[in-house]
Structure 1
Amino acid sequence: MERDLTALHNVRIRALTKEQVQKAIDQEAKEHSPKTVRNMYALFAASVKMFDGKVDISAKLPKKQRISRYIPTDADIKKLLEYVAGKPIEAPVLLAATGSLRRSEIAALKPDDLTDLGVIVNKAMVEDINKQWVIKPPKTNAGYRFSPLPPNVVERVRKGLPTPNPTIIYHQFSNALKACGLPHFRFHDLRHYYASTLHALNIPDKYIMQNGGWESEQVLHNVYQHTLSNRAEQENEKVINYFEAIAGKDKTPKMQHEMQHKEKSI
C-alpha cells in the first residue's frame, strides 16, 4: 500500500477529488497490469470509505486483460498419457483430464473413494497457516460430487493411489511435459480440456458443471471460451471445403452430396 497510488499519499481524505484519483490511477496503469491497478484501487477505496463513506472517489479503471492460455488438444493428451503410463504422475493426469479433478482433490483421494463407475470427490489437501498439508472439505457445495470415469481409467488410477501432495504433482507434471516435448500448460488446464471436450460433445452445461465441480455457469463459460484449437480447425476446414465447392466448378459440395446420398438410401 505504501508504494501504491503515491500521488495521493499527501492528500487529506476530505480533500480528495475524483480528478485526483483518476490521475493517480492513470499513472499507475502506465507501469502496472490492469489487475494490479484494480487491486490497488480496491484496497484504497476500502480504506478511504472506512474513514469517510461520503467522499466520492469513483474512477475509470483499466479494462481487464483477456489472458490467452494454451488448452491442450486431443493429440497432446494422448501423447502425454503415453509418456506417463506406469509413472506416479499417471493417475493425477488421468483424473484431471478425464474426470476434471483438481490437484488438491486428487492428493486427498483414498482408494475407497473409487468405485467401478468413477470417483467420489468430497475433500481436498491444502496447506494450513503453518504450511502443513491437511485434509479439508470442499470450499463450495459444488465441490462435493461424483465424477464418472471409464473402466480402464478406474483400473489405472487404482494402481496409482494414494498420490503425492499437490506440490509434488505440479513438479512431476511439469517434468512430464518437458520430457515428451509438449507446449507448456498448467495442470489446471487439464480441467479446461475436460470442460471444452464435453462442451464440444454437446453435453449440457448443467452436467459439465456437476461433473467438474463448477458452481456457476459464468465460471464454466470462462473455462471453455477458447474452443479446442484442433476442433476449431476441423470445423473451419469443413466450412472452407463446402464453400470452395459452391464457388468452384463442383456445384455439389461433398457434404451436400453425402446428405443427398443418405436421403436416397432411406
Structure 2
Amino acid sequence: MASVLDVRRAEDRFHTRNQWLDSHHSFSFSRHWDSANTHFGLLLVSNDDVVAPGTGFDTHPHRDMEIITWVLDGALVHQDSEGHNGIIYPGLAQRMSAGSGILHSEKNDSWTIDGSPEHRDPVHFLQMWTIPDAAGIQPGYEQLDINGELDRGGWTTLASGMAKHAGNRAIGIRQKHAALHVTRIRAGETLELATAPFVHLFVARGGVELEGAGALGTGDAVRINGAEGQRVTGGPEGAELLQWEMTAAAVVQ
C-alpha cells in the first residue's frame, strides 16, 4: 500500500493566547476539541509554546504520560515533585515520565544572585506527549545535551523506547513502539525519513521540500501513514525538524 501524506499547515493549528502564553496545538488540547484530531500514531500532544519572561506554567499534575520538552530559543526552568530541577536550553533532550503521578512546573523565571531576572526574553519550546507501555509506572526524569551530535549533521535519535535504538538514543522513553528524531538540516542537504507505519514530521523552524508533499515551512507538519523513507531537503536557510517514528497507534476514547 502506498504512503498517505496528510499535510497540516501551521496556520490551521488550534491556538491559545493570553497575556503570558502563545501556544499552537497540533492535536485537540485543553478547551480545543475535535474528535477527528485527537492523535496520530502514539503522539497525543504536540504543542508549540512561547512563554513570556517572568511567567510560566505553575505546579500542575500529570499521570501516565511520557512528556518530552525541546527548547528552540531561550531557557525553561523545570521543577517536579520527585526532586528534579534544572534549566532546559536549546539542544538539551529532556523527558519526564509522569507514571503513577507527578507534579511539575515550567517557568521562564530564573534569577541572578543580585535578584535581577536572568531570563529576560521569551522562551520558545515544543512539548510532546506519548502514552507509556503500561499505566502506573514509577515517575522518572532524564536529560542529555546533544548539541555535539546535532552539529555533526544527519538525524539524531533524541528519545526512543525501541530496541533497535538502544545503543544510539540520547534518552529513553517507556514506549517500545515510538522514537523521536531531530535534525538541523542544512541548505540543500537531503535526508530520509523513517520507514514505519506512522511518521509525524514537524518543521520547528526554516523550510524544506518533502518528497510527495512539496514545500513546508515553520510550524507545518506532515502525518504519514505507511512511510517509505521519503526524502526531505533543506531549503535556502536550512531547518530544524522533529520526526516521530511509530509502529503502533494509540486508542483514544
More strand by share: 2
Instruction: Report the TM-score when normalising by structure 2.
Output: 0.25
More helix by share: 1
Structure whose CA Rg is larger: 1
**Relative contact order, higher structure (CA 8 A, sep 6+):** 2
